[in-house]
Amino acid sequence: MTEEETRGTGPQGRPDAEATSRFVEKFAAQLVEAGMQRMPARVFAALLSSDSGALTAAELGEQLRVSPAAVSGAVRYLTQQHMVNRERDPGTRRDIFRVHSNQWYEALTNRDGVLKRWEDAMREGVTSLGENTPAGRRLAETLAFFEFVQEELAGMMERWRVRREELFGPI
């Protein structure tokens, strides 16, 4: 076995198709285990592992051996979660789906609105059920947890912006 085959790279240091496919399926399985649907997980892993970070629906379908409908549903979910952007291929009618280097930052930052809505729901639940009832105390604890996460997330994201710039330069 050559050194390139051991590393899973082909000529010019690029990953070979088999190594890429193994990564896509392994990482997608981990995303599924964490709660993501299977097809969005596979599409996300394929985009993340592509050299350009961008593929058309046809390219995704060919790489993953799935139907255009499966790709369409997956990218719809991923765009709603702010994990992938849809762009128009200049001069064509084709859409390109792109994952950016800061996709994790974007995905977590966009959870801000979700956490705020959950906090509001918990606050209303505490009021409705009574803060001295067992259910009200449980909701109050959940509310306190969401508030804590919200506060910590803001500081953590700022620290990440600084660290990312130190490691990789400005966006």
Mean pLDDT in order along the chain per 10 residues (171 residues): 45 73 96 94 95 93 94 94 86 88 74 84 95 95 94 89 91 73
CA 19/CA 63 separation, integer angstroms: 12
92: domain CATH number?
Answer: 1.10.10.10
- Return the pLDDT at 41: 96
Residue 11 CB neighbour total at 10 angstroms: 7
Q: Are residues 96 and 140 in the same domain?
A: no
Is 42 within 8 Å of 74 (Cβ atoms)? yes
- Return the pLDDT at 166: 95
Domain final residue pick, 100, 135, 160: 100
Q: Are residues 9 and 90 in the same domain?
A: yes
- Return the pLDDT at 31: 93
Q: Are residues 56 and 113 in the same domain?
A: no
Domain residues for the domain of 12 are 3-100
Q: Are residues 10 and 79 in the same domain?
A: yes
Q: Are residues 43 and 125 in the same domain?
A: no
Q: Are residues 86 and 118 in the same domain?
A: no
Q: Are residues 10 and 90 in the same domain?
A: yes
- Return the pLDDT at 4: 43
Domain final residue pick, 78, 100, 122: 100
- Return the pLDDT at 73: 95
Q: Are residues 124 and 63 in the same domain?
A: no
Looking at the whole model, is its pTM more than 0.75? no
Number of domains in the chain: 2
Is 123 within 8 Å of 117 (Cβ atoms)? no
- Cβ neighbors of 41 (< 8 A, separation 6 or more) are 27, 28, 29, 31, 32
Q: Are residues 111 and 77 in the same domain?
A: no
Q: Are residues 9 and 91 in the same domain?
A: yes
